[in-house]
Amino acid sequence: MEALPYLREIVLKRDQIDDFSGYPFSIPAVRELDSLQFAPEVTFFVGENGSGKSTLVEAMAVAMGFNAEGGTRNFNC
């Protein structure tokens, strides 16, 4: 069976962050993140409004070359 192209883990490169008091690092979900492992096929982000769910998803999209607002890799910055 062929391996599917799942995102398995993200890691916050803490040594490359100068200031954790600014956005998005001021959000507890981001500030306290070291790594986040994903289950194959389906992962749910659950939390209260303003807890950082969308911020994490947008950051993952940008890190993988996608537009933070959705869409394809063919976007203009």
From CA 49, how far away is CA 52, in angstroms rounded?
8
Q: What is the pLDDT along the chain (77 residues), one digit of tens a residue?
A: 566 667 888 899 999 999 999 988 888 888 888 998 888 778 888 999 988 888 888 888 888 888 887 766 665 55
**Neighbour-count burial of 55, counting CB atoms closer than 10 A to its CB (0-12 exposed, 13-18 middle, 19+ buried):** middle
10: helix, strand or coil: strand
